[in-house]
Amino acid sequence: MFEKWIYRIVIVLFLTQVLVPFVGLVQFSIQGAGTTPTLSSFQQLIVNPLFSGSLLNSLFLALCTVILSIGIFTPPVWHAYLYAPKVLRVIEAVSFVPFVVPAVVLALAYVQFFSSGLLNLVGTPYLLPFAFALLGMPFYVQVLLNRLRHTDALSLHEAAQSLGATGVYAFMKIQLPLLRSGMINGGLLIFTISIGEFTITQLTTGGSYNTLPLYLMIAFTNNPLEGSAMAVLTLVLAVMGVVAALFFASDKRRRVKGERA
């Protein structure tokens, strides 16, 4: 049918628009300006100690951020959801701060506020996990809340308490397993955000701490071939992250079905 064909053409155009830069990137990373394809840019990258150093730094930072986020955000969101809907509204509103305060402004604020006295942290990487956690907060809170709403945590909790479980026991045995998938999905989002963060890292550390995006920028400026190889690797990582999240999501659905059967 005529209408169907228009939709197909639109979808193909969209795919072209999306894929052209990436095909261009991959092609450039293996061919450069020359004519013979080679993987040498990838080889160079892998043996480069600066690259592996920045990779380790990024992974470490991301891990710290994930732990920090799970620790700071999970208990209050859970508790407010069950017992204090008004506080929950405040938490939700506050979690949207990054939408009004973009990364550049946050960096400017940090550079001034953390530049003296006890909290003289500008130029060090110690601020970064907190900053990344703040940037990821809206996503993490929403994922967790979706999970809580989806499973009707409230009635489960009340049922457990009516059966005589104490608050702590009910939390450990019933709520924690229930929150686990929310924590994994939210954590994955935080991880991906942390791995890719550039603005605050560059502006608050002044380049003293090398992370993947920072090194990508430097590498691309010095040697576009190496930079584009690295961009390819970063994108592959991001795609893997999203596929993993999708996998977790589908796994969850299967388990729910099993429970009902």
Partner 1 sequence: MIYGPLFLFISLFALIPVANVIANSMWARGLTFNFYGQSFSSQYLNAFITTLKVAFWSGLIGLIGGAVVALSLWRSKSTWVTTVISAMSGVLANFAGLPLAVAFMVTFGVSGLVTNALQKFFHFNLSQTGFNLSSSVGLILVYCAFQIPLAVLVLLPAYSSLSEDLEAAALSLGCNVLEYFRRVLIPVLAPSFLGTFSLLFANAFSAYVTAYAIAGGSVNLIPIQIGYLINGNVSLNVGLGNALAVEEMVVLSLSLSLFVLSLRMRKKRRQRVKGGAINV
By CB under 8 A, the residues from 98 to 157 that bind partner 1 are 99-114, 130-131, 133-134
Only segment of 39-47, 153-161, 174-182, 232-240 that touches partner 1 (CB under 8 A) = 232-240
Tell me if 14 contacts partner 1 by CB under 8 A: yes
183-212 positions binding partner 1, by CB under 8 A: 192-193, 196, 198-199, 203, 206
- One symbol per residue from 63 to 92: x for binding partner 1 (CB under 8 A), - otherwise; what is it? --------xxx-xx--xx------x---x-
Q: If you search the block for the tokens 């795609």, which residue do you land on? A: 239
Q: Is 249 in the site for partner 1 (CB under 8 A)?
A: no
Burial of 250 (0-12, 13-18, 19+ CB in 10 A): exposed
The C-alpha angle with vertex 51 and arms to 35 and 25, in degrees rounded to 5, equals 35
Rounded to the nearest whole angstrom, what is the least distance from the CB of residue 60 to partner 1 in the complex?
19
* Footprint of partner 1 on 20-59 (CB under 8 A): 20-25, 27-29, 32-33
Q: Residues 7, 60, 169, 248: which binds partner 1 (CB under 8 A)?
A: 7
Instruction: Spell out the alpha helix ranges (H) of the chain.
Output: 2-31, 40-47, 49-83, 85-95, 97-100, 103-113, 128-151, 153-162, 167-170, 176-196, 199-205, 212-222, 224-260
Smallest gap from residue 166 Cβ to partner 1 (A): 16
Burial grade of 63 (CB within 10 A; 0-12, 13-18, 19 or more):
middle
